[in-house]
Amino acid sequence: MPQYTPPMRDMQFVMHELLNVVDELKMLPGHEDIDADTINAVLEEGGKFAAEVIAPINLSGDAEGCTLDKASHEVTAPKGFKEAYKQYVEGGWPALSCDPAFGGQGLPHLVNQFFYEMLNSANQAWTMYPGLSHGAYEALHAHGTPEQQATYLPKLTSGEWTGTMCLTEPHCGTDLGLLRTKAEPQADGTYKITGAKIFISAGEHDMAENIVHLVLARLPDAPQGSKGISLFLVPKFNVNADGSLGSRNDIFCAGLEHKMGIHGNATAQIVLEGAVGTLVGEPNKGLAAMFVMMNAARLGVGNQSLGLTEVAYQNAVAYAKDRIQMRALSGPKAPDKPADPIIVHPDVRKMLLTARAFAEGGRMLQGYTVLQLDKALKSDDEDERKEADAEVALLTPIIKAFITDNGWLATSHCMQVYGGHGFIHEWGMEQFVRDARINMIYEGTNTIQSLDLLGRKVLGNNGATLKKFGKKIAAFIEEEGTNEAMQEFVNPLADLGDKVNKLTQEIGMKAMGNADEVGAAAVDYLRVVGHMTFAYFFARAAKIALAKKDSGDPFYTAKLATARFYFAKLLPETASLIRTCRAGLAPLMEMEEALF
């Protein structure tokens, strides 16, 4: 069974050495009293919960899966999931970054982000139960009526109730404008909602006493398409005026999907048969409210693959040090043993270092972005809020797509390190690969992310946000211009920055002629910009490591080696990506549909 050790040292590096989060957070109203010791202590405890409580039920949860009783429509989560969730609630973990006005602890989102990385490493399927609640919490916090907030937010904050996002229907996923679920207004101001939803993560289970479904549906007079969608709150159990649970609402789990991975999470088909709901936000403005959930979810999905990358790396390293097989080509390295540990082989190291660099790069990018999110939510300076918000919007699709694509590569490499054993369930490595695969699909496929980045976030404002981010990179390069030891990092970074500028302009020009050029370029483009962000953060990390490399702390030696590996072996992927991006639309459209 896989083991997991929370990467405290690297998290602390990212928070306190790379990002100076305490200084930044202290400037924000509500976080004046934050200090490093508090953050570290919370994460130490959170890491223990992840490693000791939910990691041990990950493999068994995958093997067992969820069970639906078709008669009662009740779902039982795998053995141990309910008990672990009870501990989670008793420990106050759901409240970490929630609003104190509703019982939350009011810690920065940043702390929650690092906490969730560890939960995801330990057990992605389990973590999705509380994870989905956050989306529901955010949507209600932003758009709920005072009554909805008073009734539901304290229960979501405490974790007594969980939440879901009921968006997808059999005929529409990406294209929510096609959805058919109907909401009929009732005399008492509520709505009766009827329809069928699929792919509802954590959609039904036995871990909490109530489930708060947020459901997209159409009002009778709604315009067609995405401008006619409204958001409704539909509880599993109706809630009495005193807050106690009332009658069972007519929203049921009609089936569970058999999936490639995340078996421990109940992916439910949800049927609404005149279920009672209340409107969240304004009529026909449901997509805007939904995007509050969705943006949080996309950062969360990147974090899932970051977690899987880290845990896959840790286990593959342990195996590579332990497993002896063949001799190094350059001669025996463990002559006292019948063969060398496989970590002596350069390609095994390459697979391990790829996962390591993707984990460290992803952690820096996620940490940076969530720090901007805290600023966007809390700063008392409107300009700072707006600027931070734009940067989060720019980086969110990169986090979602780049980190999950990397997670798929990394978990597959780590599985490969195990040879045949990697394919066997009991080692746990193939589960990481299967679990990682969904992250490239849900909450907007990675193609959708790339269109969001290139079409909306970059070309949509003539590259203004990207240019602002680029100025931060340029300033850093400028600072290090005379630092000889930094040239191996800043030169390729500067070179890539120039190429990104040029590429962006080229695509913009071509897109004016044919908008499909955006669709042809977007996926490659996102990976190029993703690499630019990783290169920027690795260069910053290298600067710190160079300054401290004589400190005697081997952490900095390792950080420098990882940064060098990244620049030598991963960043050059951009050479191909820029070429294929530039090859444009024509090679994709030459074949008539009938000839496929």
Q: How many CA atoms lie within 13 A of 429 on its CB side?
A: 25
Residue with tokens 């952490």: 555
- Applying CB under 8 A, the site for its own copies has a residue count of 102
| Identified catalytic residue from 204, 360, 443, 517 | 443
CB of 73 to its own copies, least distance (A): 20
Contact with its own copies (CB under 8 A) among 1, 326, 464, 547: 326
**Binding residues for its own copies restricted to 228-257, rule: CB under 8 A:** 257
Residue 552 engages its own copies in binding (rule: CB under 8 A): no
Q: Is 87 in the site for its own copies (CB under 8 A)?
A: no
506 is catalytic: no
What part of residues 203-222 is at the interface with its own copies (CB under 8 A)? Answer: none
Shortest Å distance, C-beta 71 to its own copies: 23
Q: Which is nearer to its own copies, 227 or 425 (CB)?
A: 425
Window 302-321: residues binding its own copies (CB under 8 A): 317, 320-321
- Residues 88-107 as x/- pattern, contact with its own copies by CB under 8 A: --------------------
CB of 522 to its own copies, least distance (A): 7
Smallest distance, its own copies to C-beta of residue 565, A: 5
By DSSP bridging, strand 210-217 and strand 161-166 are parallel
Rounded to whole angstroms, how far apart are CA atoms 235 and 253? 13
Least distance to its own copies from the beta carbon of 594, Å? Answer: 8
Q: What are the C-alpha distances in Å from 440 to residues 296, 303, 436?
A: 16, 12, 8
Judged by CB under 8 A, the chain residues 338 through 357 that form the site for its own copies are 338-339, 341, 343-350, 352-353, 356
Phi, psi torsion values for 188, nearest 5 degrees: -85, 10
Of 1, 475, 512, 588, the one binding its own copies (CB under 8 A) is 588
Among 159, 163, 173, 470, binds its own copies (CB under 8 A): 173
Binders of its own copies among 396-415, rule CB under 8 A?
Answer: 408, 412, 415
Q: How far is the CB of 389 from its own copies (least distance, A)?
A: 26
Residue of 145, 325, 491, 501 interacting with its own copies (CB under 8 A): 325
Beta bridge pairs of residue 169: 172
Nearest-5° angle of CA 139, CA 80, CA 9? 70
If one asks whether residue 485 binds its own copies (CB under 8 A), the answer comes out as: no
- Residue 141 to residue 135: CA distance in whole angstroms: 10
CA 362 to chain CA centroid, Å, is 10
Among residues 258, 335, 336, 550, the one that binds its own copies under rule CB under 8 A: 258
Is position 196 an interface residue for its own copies (rule: CB under 8 A)? no
Least distance from its own copies to the Cβ atom of residue 171, Å = 8
Q: Backbone phi, then psi, for 366, in 5-degree steps? A: -65, -45
Site for its own copies in 439-458 (CB under 8 A): 440-442, 445-447, 450-451, 455
How many whole angstroms separate alpha carbon 300 and alpha carbon 400?
Answer: 8
Dihedral pair phi/psi, residue 244, rounded to 5°: -80, 160
In DSSP notation, 549-583 reads: GGGS-HHHHHHHHHHHHIIIIITTHHHHHHHHHHT
399 — alpha (psi -120 to 50), left (phi > 0) or beta?
alpha
**In this structure, are residues 433 and 415 in contact, taking their beta carbons and an 8 Å threshold?**
yes
Positions annotated as catalytic residues are 443
